[in-house]
Chains A and B, each alone.
Chain A
Amino acid sequence: MSDSLRVQSVPASLWPAVWKLLRLRGLILLSGFRRARLKRKIGIVVLSLILLSFLGFVFFISWALLRFLRSPQLVQFAGDVTPVLESMPSLILGGAFLGILLTSFGVLLQALYLAGDMDFLLSAPLPIRAVFVTKLLQAILPNFGLICAFSLPVLFGLGASSGYNALYYPFVLLALSALTLAAAGLASLLVMAVVRVFPARRVAEVLGFVGAVASFLFSQTGQFARFGNVNQGQATLALRSLERFNNPWSPLAWAGRGLVDLGEGHWVAGFGYLTLSIGLAALIFGLALTTAERLYYTGWAGMQSIRRKKKTLKATRSTASGALGAGAARLIPPAMRAIVVKDSFVLRRDLRNMSQLVTPLILGIVYAIMFLRSGGQPPPGRGEAPAWFMEAARNLLVYGNVGISLFVGWMLIARLGGMGFSQEGRSYWLLKTAPVSAGQLLAAKFSVAFLPALALGWIFLLGITLLQRAGLSILLFTLPVVALCVAGSAGLNLAFGVVGANLDWDDPRHMQRGSSSCLGALVSILYLPLSLLLFFGPPLLFTTLGWPEPGGQLAGLLLGGAFSLTCAVLPLWLVRKRVLVLGEG
């Protein structure tokens, strides 16, 4: 090889190498923007402008709200809120620290161990610490940006409304950056420790599942709260409890206290708290950096040599049939049965899928409890509604169990039907090269979406009917209603799923693409009330007119059934030819 090709310089020290890697990342970003379509470029610019306006708006609202909280009229009503306001920086910075710590774990796991460029970076003549720092910065920057977007305008608004001096503002940014780095450093230490014990990919799967379910549970438990019943004493108590976060012994409060002291001109206390806080953050980050050299490399190298722990499964033919039920298995052609059984295994075993499938269950339980708590009675309102309206609402709520069952089934179908074909991913070639017709494929995928949604819908229906002690005639009518409605929804979602199928993904959570899946969900949202109107319209009309209800139920079943079956079959018939060319894009 000629001398001219010899390497000129290798960045042996940390920061030049970090700079080189960050510059490369910036270059990739810039190049991506330059090569993007004009539509996308305009979108990015517009989005940035909207974000900037939003920041300005949050700043203005915070400033106005905080001034209002200090107004003498409010002080008379709620007492002096100055201690609460002074605890806000501690609360926000503490929240930002914990938020970054929690969210960084998953992000850093992905960036430090599961990124596609790790082989390239770790085999290049670069210090491991440089790779670590670059990956760390790259991973936390989006979260940091998000935290800044929400907390900076509020903290600046507090400064403006309280008349803090100018030093307050740069130190807010400094404290936020230091705490973010400390949180990310702590999270990286945790990640490095966990990856030494468990395979990174499995940790990511479990984390995705637990994270999704936990956040969903937390968001839905708010449904049980009765905010309307909160009195003034409880509100004041809740407000005062915020002050507890401003404890001088809590390291999380030091930065916030320091900022307030600095803003109010108490220089010694302000600089003291801030030095303590920023020093501790630097210590944690330094510890992460020094440990990274050993822990990070050995953890990463371990991933290459140790294969993931084998998961040995005993799956006999009887258990495979068991997934469907032996009786049903005999009725279904072998190819269809094979696809249904295969999908049931694949969906159950991937935790990343499970988090999406558990969601309807949680929502269903939450709404079923809320429905049962209301006693099946319409809210009385102010009592001005006419009697006939209240009677009609009461009659309608007799079928409220169907609404909840369908809601649960619909959510499950949106996942199982809408992504029935997409979930095949790059393994779709196995189906495409097999002697399976488009009709069989559609029928199999329809069963995969319909059967679990029907089972779940019926379980909810039976459970609620039993708890409500509704009559047998209502149950006998609502069972086929749920089945037919779910069938129609499955047909619609599956058809739109075929049109927008995305077979090119690595993570099941990214398989949804394009507008067709949204359109499918939208159409099925429109379909459900329409079909329910056809199912329940006749029995409600019969009851109102004083005619026998079973006659109305029969008429409803005929009308709604015909509509639902049309929605189950027609869209699939329309897309059958599209199935033949799937995966040829």
Chain B
Amino acid sequence: MAISPSLIETQHLVKRYGDKIAVNDVSLKVDAGEIFGFLGPNGAGKTTTIKMIVGLLRPTSGSVQVSGFDVQAQPLLAKAASGYVPDESNLYPKLTARELLRFVGDLYGMVPQQVERRIEELLRLFDLAETGDDTIDSYSHGMKQKTALAAALVHDPRVLVLDEPTVGLDPKSARLIKDILRQMAERGAAVFLSTHILEIAERMCDRIGIINQGRLVAVGTMEDLRALGKDGAQDSLEDIFLGLTGGAEYAEIAEVLR
């Protein structure tokens, strides 16, 4: 295993579907203790990239390393180090939250007593203690999302990958998630999250990557990205994002709706 501070590293990542290139030569690194925001318009390749990082999709070419392990060559070690929250939770509807967390704990080979302790902590933390024995099909969207996050945290991963984690959450739950992510980063974990809410990316993330039409068009801190903008330090992330991903059409739409 190579000694590297980077817990997530993609090298020349490419994913093709027939003639269509969904992800084109994406190389990025996320270090321990860092929150990395991954932005891009709809269909830019965010979810495809994320799915390759967590091992849900095989890259056409290029490689992904998680916690120093190649996701294709050493998938079990890479997966054991990471936790994942998808954009749509899709949890087993006929399991209770408690059973789901126990199931995930067992999948990750945790000691039973440790799993039980962790389940109680997480259910309390996410305000699910009272509903922990109800089946998931009776949950609201927000509760399902929180259950998915709890499932990703059961084994206390070193790498956390989240696809649109705050969609459908109330402000209290969204704030809770932001606090948890910050705490995890402070404890040395790498957090990789995609979001459409630029305010979250601007305030939470240490570094931001912007993907457009499958290509990574910018990576860096807010200062690095501002340097790319027209007005330098005056630019907001929204201006930078629209400038890099082509925002002219939005102005036209606004004109039509006026």
Task: Please list the residues of chain A having a beta carbon within 8 angstroms of any beta carbon in chain B.
Answer: 1, 307-315, 317, 320, 334-335, 337-339, 341-342, 345-346, 349-350, 425-427, 429-437, 581, 583-584
Contact = CB atoms under 8 A, between A and B. Distances in A.
Q: Taking each of A312, A350, A431, which has the highest tally of chain B beta carbons within 10 Å of its own beta carbon?
A: A312
Contact of A342 (B75, B99, B138): B99
Given A311-B135, A335-B107, A345-B95, A433 B90 contact: no
A431 B92 CA distance: 11
B202 interface: no
Contacts of B76: 435-437
A315 B98 CA distance: 8
Chain B interface residue number, banded: 35 or more
Interface string B226-258: 000000000000000000000000000000010
Contact of A433 (B55, B103, B131): B55
A447 to B, nearest CB: 14
B140 interface: yes
A433 B56 contact: yes
Given A310-B131, A334-B109, A431-B107, A583 B77 contact: no
B56 A337 contact: no
A433 B109 contact: no
B134 interface: yes
Nearest to B257: A1
Contact of A338 (B58, B94, B107): B107
A335 B88 CA distance: 24
Nearest to A1: B257
B108 interface: yes
Given A310-B138, A427-B90, A435-B76, A317 B116 contact: yes
B137 interface: yes
B102 A311 contact: no
B58 A584 contact: yes
Interface stretch (B37-45, B79-87, B172-180): B79-87
A312 B133 contact: yes
B92 to A, nearest CB: 5
Contacts of A433: 54-56, 79, 82, 84
A317 B151 contact: no
Contacts of B88: 426
B198 interface: no
18 contacts: A307-B138, A310-B134, A310-B138, A311-B134, A311-B138, A313-B96, A313-B133, A315-B96, A335-B109, A346-B92, A429-B84, A430-B92, A430-B104, A430-B151, A433-B56, A435-B75, A435-B79, A581-B58
Nearest to B140: A307
Contact of A314 (B82, B104, B131, B133): B133
Contacts of A584: 56-58
A435 B102 contact: no
Contacts of B91: 427, 430
A386 to B, nearest CB: 57
Provide the main secondary structure of the chain B interface: mixed
Nearest to B161: A433
A346 B57 CA distance: 26
A426 B135 CA distance: 17
B58 A346 contact: no
A552 to B, nearest CB: 45
A330 to B, nearest CB: 11
A349 B56 contact: no
Contacts of B57: 584
Interface centre among A310, A342, A581, A583 (most CB of B within 10 A): A342
A311 B75 CA distance: 37
B107 A345 contact: no
B30 to A, nearest CB: 17
Contacts of A581: 58
B61 to A, nearest CB: 15
Contacts of B110: 334
Given A315-B96, A429-B86, A435-B76, 18 more contacts: A1-B257, A310-B138, A313-B133, A315-B133, A334-B106, A337-B106, A338-B103, A342-B99, A346-B95, A426-B90, A427-B91, A432-B56, A433-B79, A433-B84, A434-B104, A435-B107, A583-B56, A584-B58
A298 B112 CA distance: 48
Contacts of B54: 433
A429 B55 CA distance: 10
Contacts of A431: 107
B79 A434 contact: yes
- What 5 pairs between A and B have smallest CB-CB spacing? A338-B106, A435-B80, A349-B94, A434-B107, A426-B90
Interface in B168-219: none
Contacts of B134: 310-313
B142 to A, nearest CB: 12
Interface string B125-141: 00000010111011010
Nearest to B109: A334
A332 B116 CA distance: 20
Nearest to A312: B133
A345 B56 contact: no
A248 B37 CA distance: 78
Nearest to B116: A317
B229 to A, nearest CB: 33
Given A315-B96, A435-B107, A581-B58, A349 B90 contact: no
Contacts of A339: 103, 107
Contacts of A426: 88, 90
A313 B95 CA distance: 9
A431 B106 CA distance: 11
B58 A313 contact: no
A341 B103 contact: yes
Interface string B65-85: 000000000011101101010
A581 B59 CA distance: 11
Contacts of A334: 106-107, 109-110
Nearest to B134: A310
Contacts of A313: 96, 99, 133-135
Nearest to B111: A334
Contacts of B90: 425-427, 429
Nearest to B110: A334
Given A427-B91, A429-B56, A435-B77, A308 B137 contact: yes
Given A341-B103, A430-B91, A584-B56, A435 B108 contact: yes
Contacts of B55: 432-433
